[in-house]
Amino acid sequence: MRTPVIAGNWKMNMTVDQAIELVKGIHYGYKNPGQVDVVVAPPSTSIHPVAQYLKDSHISVAAQNMHWEESGAFTGEISAPFIKDAGADYVIIGHSERRQYFKETDKTVNKKMHSAIKHDLIPIMCVGETLGEREDGRLQDVIQRQVMDGLDGIESFAATDIIIAYEPVWAIGTGKTATSEQAEEVHSFIRSLLHKIHDTKKANGIRILYGGSMNSKNAAELLALPNIDGGLIGGASLVASDFIDIIRS
Ligand code: 13P
């Protein structure tokens, strides 16, 4: 049985004060630990204050990105040890916005995955096709490449130590959600890829989240699907009551 994960990716939103306000709302509104792993990913300026606020709660904190090196001359970057030090336990890696606007590749995603695991952060590795790739019939090729290359050489971990998020690029911030059939098709394909590279127990234990215009109205249907183990939520995670509704779903 996989414990579902509901993670809010706040992207480049929320000042420190706004971040604390939002997390207060989520914390007060959701007090039922155990059934769901709840994660919030504030911008890096708010990781520490949010983590401090949530210290004794059942809500965890994620960074939205990281560098694969531990320290050094990489202006503007933060690394896994810094993220841990700031109080986060998760990190989003390879989000399509990073791939699209900051030229991240499967190779850099893979380096980040290795570093995250080495430093005890749970990576949420994002994969997903563009509309053009889907329409050209390249959906499976793209997903397979992103999953296999992203996970290359990653072996010694427990199933709960990594998370994959399927986020079709055409569904992000567009209000256009994948249908249940589309989402389940890709999630079960990802599961089949995991079976190729890991033993049954591990392949069955890794959580695969859906992301892309998930909201309080469509969450229950998506989350009921056999291979959808939670959600990575953008826009709807910025409103405490909406995020709580999704957690309850
Ligand atoms: P939206 O929920 O705003 O579509 O964003 C999804 C996403 O990119 C989460 O990482």
**Ligand 1 close to Cβ of residue 172 (< 6 A):** yes
Active site residue 95: yes
Q: Please tell me the number of Cα atoms within 13 Å of 54 on its side-chain side.
A: 31
For residue 247, report the phi and psi dihedrals to the nearest 5 degrees: -60, -45
d(CA 133, CA 186): 14
Q: How confident is the prediction for the chain on average, in pLDDT?
A: 95
User: DSSP E strands: which ranges in the chain?
Assistant: 5-9, 37-41, 59-63, 90-93, 122-127, 163-166, 207-211, 230-233
Atom from ligand 1 closest to the CA of residue 95: 10
Confirm or reject: Cβ of 8 under 6 Å from ligand 1: no
Nearest CA to ligand 1 atom 7: 234
**Is 201 exposed, middle or buried, given 0-12, 13-18 or 19+ CB atoms closer than 10 A?**
exposed
Write down the catalytic residue from 27, 95, 187, 198. Answer: 95
Lookup: tokens for 147:
């999953």
Instruction: Looking at the CA of residue 172, tell me the nearest atom of ligand 1.
Output: 4
User: Which residue among 167, 169, 210, 218 is best mutated to probe the pocket of ligand 1, counting the most ligand atoms within 8 A of its Cβ?
Assistant: 167
Lookup: tokens for 239: 């409103």
Structure confidence at residue 124 (pLDDT): 98
Q: How far apart are CA 36 and CA 6, in angstroms?
A: 7
Low-confidence spans in the chain with pLDDT less than 70: 32-34
* pLDDT for position 46: 98
pLDDT value of residue 33: 64
φ/ψ (deg, to 5) at 78: -130, 150
Q: Ligand 1 in contact with 127 (CB < 6 A)?
A: no
pLDDT for the residue numbered 15: 98
221 part of the active site = no
pLDDT of residue 157: 82
pLDDT on residue 150: 97
Distance CA 172, CA 227 (A): 20
Superfamily holding 5-248:
Aldolase class I (3.20.20.70)
To test ligand 1's pocket by mutation, which of 101, 126, 213 has the most ligand atoms within 8 angstroms of CB?
Answer: 213
Instruction: Write down the pTM of the prediction.
Output: 0.97
Comparing CA positions, the residue from 228, 214, 143, 223 lying closest to residue 176 is 214
Query: For ligand 1, what atom is nearest to the CA of residue 165?
Result: 10
Predicted local confidence at residue 30, as pLDDT:
84
Atom of ligand 1 nearest to the CA of 126: 10
Q: In residues, how long is the chain? A: 249
Phi, psi of 209 (to 5 degrees): -95, 155
Non-local CB neighbours of 61 within 8 Å, separated by 6+ positions? 39, 40, 41, 42, 47, 50, 51, 54, 87, 88, 89, 90
CA angle 247, 125, 204 (to 5 degrees): 75
Residue with CA closest to ligand 1 atom 1: 234
pLDDT tens-place string over residues 19-36: 999 999 999 988 766 689
